[in-house]
Amino acid sequence: LGGRSSARRPRTRTARRAAAETRGGPVEILPYLFLGSCSHSSDLQGLQACGITAVLNVSASCPNHFEGLFRYKSIPVEDNQMVEISAWFQEAISFIVKNSGGRVLVHCQAGISRSATICLAYLIQSRRVRLDEAFDFVKQRRGVISPNFSFMGQLLQFETQVLCH
């Protein structure tokens, strides 16, 4: 038990914070939009407590745990620099809009990069806000968000498309 085994404890402040935030439930971004992790998506009581009616799964590895109970949409992407997540923005936004009469959980593995990216794209398009404003808004609610560098670049391009047309 003593010693400094890095296998047992999170290595970074962000990892520790993510672990702490994951212990709670998913966070409310808007009254009908929640952001969380794979562990949130597998917690039936937590989902029901939040009134979740639909789940947008932005991962290739996390299963859709309660197929009969919630509407699901899967976006099977990995969290890496090569992924063109922007190719999924419109489909993801449409799913959120279609289910916004209920409550939608958007999640990936950790609730840090992929699902945060989708929530940011949704805010840019639906609220017509700039990326930095959307980012600050989401970061205040889930402090661990950190879309990878490539995803941030794709969000900047998306912001330009949305706000300049």
What is the set of active-site residues? 108
| Helix, coil or strand: residue 99 | coil
Beta bridge partners of 30: 33
Instruction: Give the separation between CA 49 and CA 10, rounded to whole angstroms.
Output: 28
Q: Which tokens sit at 119?
A: 């929530």
Instruction: Give the separation between CA 115 and CA 112, rounded to whole angstroms.
Output: 7
Cβ atoms within 10 A of the Cβ of 67, count?
Answer: 10
Helix 114-127 crosses helix 149-164 at what angle (to 10 degrees)? 10
How many angstroms separate the Cα of 154 from the Cα of each of 18, 48, 68, 114?
Answer: 24, 33, 34, 12
Specify whether the CB–CB gap between 29 and 141 falls below 8 A: yes
Instruction: Give the separation between CA 126 and CA 145, rounded to whole angstroms.
Output: 20
